[in-house]
């Protein structure tokens, strides 16, 4: 599903071809016991589902893109909710015409490679649902 090397609190993670980034990174967090941290990376995908939240209606709009795209930038964080890893990842995806789509990642199927950098934090980062925004905000 993935391979990694560790350098202190930092990890270099290579997600295997055809894997989903969310699934692989969740498994990685469980295996390594990472409960808080940050994520960045690059790679290539053949399919991705992104989510847009309309703040006025609090309605989610999910859209799937089925095409080969470059992960020109993946950035996000690791926290926990209900005792499980909670990944909050945003991604910019470059299309074959060099335009970019991007947003909040729901799924991201690797087709090629995915090279991530994960930094572990020692603090605990919880989440709670916030009625006003409709978001799972940090619960400090």
DSSP secondary structure of 4-54 = EEEETTEEEEEEPTT-BHHHHHHHHHHHHT--SEEEEEEEEEEEEEEEEEE
Binding to Fe ion by residue 104, rule CB under 5 A? Answer: yes
* Contact string 26-65 vs Fe ion (x = CB under 5 A): ----------------------------------------
Q: Which stretch binds Fe ion (CB under 5 A): 24-32, 60-68, 101-109, 124-132?
A: 101-109
Answer for the pair 26, 36: CB distance below 8 angstroms, yes or no.
no
Q: How far is the CB of 132 from Fe ion (least distance, A)?
A: 16
Q: Which stretch binds Fe ion (CB under 5 A): 6-14, 39-47, 54-62, 100-108?
A: 100-108
Closest by CA to 83, choosing from 118, 124, 123, is 124
Residues at the interface with Fe ion (CB under 5 A): 104
């Amino acid at each position: 599903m993935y391979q990694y090397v560790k350098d202190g609190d930092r990890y270099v993670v290579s997600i295997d071809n055809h894997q989903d980034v969310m699934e692989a990174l969740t498994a990685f967090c469980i295996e390594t016991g990472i409960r808080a941290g940050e994520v960045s990376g690059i790679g290539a995908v053949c399919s991705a589902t992104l989510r847009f939240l309309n703040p006025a209606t609090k309605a989610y709009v999910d859209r799937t893109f089925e095409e080969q795209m470059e992960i020109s930038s993946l950035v996000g964080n690791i926290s926990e909710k209900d005792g499980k890893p909670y990944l909050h990842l945003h991604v910019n995806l470059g299309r074959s015409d060099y335009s970019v789509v991007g947003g909040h990642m729901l799924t991201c199927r690797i087709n090629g490679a995915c090279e991530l950098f994960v930094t572990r934090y020692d603090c605990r980062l919880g989440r709670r649902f916030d009625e006003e925004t409709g978001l799972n905000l940090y619960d400090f």
